[in-house]
Every structure is written in C-alpha cells, then in structure tokens.
Structure 1
C-alpha cells in the first residue's frame, strides 16, 4: 500500500509541476489517504502480533 502511496505522490507532484494543479492535488490527496491507511493497518497488525506472541509464550510456559 505504501508503494501505491508513493506512486500517487510522484504522479501528483509531476502533474502539479506541469500545470495540472487540480488533478495533481487530487493525486497527492489520495497518496495521503493511502499513507495513513497503511500506517493504521501497520499499527493494528503490530498490536495483534504482540498479543499473539504473548499468547504463544504463555502457552509454552
């Protein structure tokens, strides 16, 4: 998902530099949303992984 965020960001910046500010801004906005969604998914999976790791450790002890 971060790959798509970077792609949208680069395309948006190039379009903005070429004078297509409206659609370029939209692409940058989409990149921002994708970035924050990726960060949220990362945090959720990190918490779930830590909880699962504690569960496995407790089961082995």
Structure 2
C-alpha cells in the first residue's frame, strides 16, 4: 500500500528519514505545545489514577 503513489508527490514523498519533518508542519507553534502538554498530562494523570485506584482497592478489603 505505502509508496505506490510516490510519483505524484516526488518532492514531498515521505520516506523514513523525512517522516517527521517538523519544520514543514502547518501551525507548528500551536500544535507542538498542545502535543507536548497532552503527552505530559497523560504521563502524569494515568499513574496518579492507578495509584489512587489501587490504594482504594486495598483499603476497602
């Protein structure tokens, strides 16, 4: 599937080494902080939720 239409967009064809070309991203100044904040939030909220859930589970028995 991937790469069959490479002749259509030759200069913009995404190959492995150009896959994450962030300087050509539209609205980069808006998207990147939102992405970083989202990843950081998930990395903080999920472990906190797991710890609280686990402590409630052990306290109720």
| Superposition TM-score, scaled by structure 2 size | 0.52
Give matches, 1:39-54, under 5 Å: 39-54=39-54
For structure 2, list consecutive stretches of 5 or more residues without a partner in the other structure: 1-24
- The residue aligned with 1:21 is none
Ranked by relative contact order (alpha carbons within 8 Å, sequence separation 6 or more), the top structure is 1
**Number of residue pairs aligned between Structure 1 and Structure 2:** 37
For structure 1, list consecutive stretches of 5 or more residues without a partner in the other structure: 1-11, 14-26
Structure number with larger C-alpha Rg: 2
Q: 2-side partners of 1:58 and 1:29: how far apart?
A: 45
- The residue aligned with 1:58 is 58
Q: 2-side partners of 1:47 and 1:30: how far apart?
A: 27
The alpha-carbon deviation at position 46 of structure 1 amounts to 0.1
| Superposition TM-score, scaled by structure 1 size | 0.52
